[in-house]
Chains A and B, each alone.
Chain A
């Protein structure tokens, strides 16, 4: 009984309820899970009736970030998970992505240069898109975990 209460209290501190502003989920590191999570994030953003640009920026950048974690962080790894915490504030939308995949090379974010369209590139756009669409990006390697925080500006309602 005591343990139950303690758990409930702990839950309350992690995820304040009744405001509809926090979204948390855990996913397997594969592309189908990215699709499902991306759709869930989309629904959550839609509930906030954000300006269309803000909604699109956040939705596109988070999908790219998750794809990159699956493709690079978890390449040839068959276990682990990715956790997503998204808060939609009055002026800022903040997403914290935590995973136990491999570290980013050099423990830092990729440069994210844009590929030249003339070369007909079939990839390499991911971090360019994330950096273009978000206001700030921070990455930390914490023990065996990667913690990526992306922030987006939230403009006035339509």
Chain B
């Protein structure tokens, strides 16, 4: 699972460089996220702009990534494609994350 991180101001941006976060990738994803969010700023944004498909295991791994954050850290999501957005809305897991249409919008949070 290729996760690329970059600190922009006070935000840690983590880009998923894969087309799927699925059952075959879930454990690797969760482990990769733990490594990247172990230290660093309180706000993390997961850029899902390359991800075409998230299944329920991938969804579970994203939730697990949020639960394993340090105290005070938060995980926001950005750039969900239609099939990914559908999974979040259907399961109502869109209610527990701040979700931004694209990365530019996600980053205005920082400036504001």
Contacts and interface: CB of A to CB of B under 8 A. Distances in A.
A39 B93 CA distance: 25
Q: Which of B23, B61, B63 gathers most chain A CB within 10 Å?
A: B23
Interface stretch (B35-43, B79-87, B99-107): B79-87
Contacts of B57: 31, 67, 123
A145 interface: no
A26 interface: no
Q: Which of A52, A56, A128 gathers most chain B CB within 10 Å?
A: A56
| A interface SS class | helix
A118 B67 CA distance: 12
| B interface SS class | helix
A64 B55 contact: yes
Interface in B53-100: 53, 55-57, 59-61, 63-64, 66-67, 82-83, 86-87, 90-93, 95-96
A105 interface: no
A88 B55 CA distance: 22
Interface of B: 20, 22-24, 53, 55-57, 59-61, 63-64, 66-67, 82-83, 86-87, 90-93, 95-96
27 contacts: A31-B23, A31-B24, A35-B24, A38-B22, A52-B82, A56-B83, A56-B86, A60-B55, A67-B22, A67-B56, A67-B57, A70-B23, A71-B23, A114-B91, A117-B91, A117-B93, A120-B63, A120-B67, A121-B60, A121-B63, A122-B63, A122-B67, A125-B56, A126-B56, A128-B91, A129-B91, A133-B90
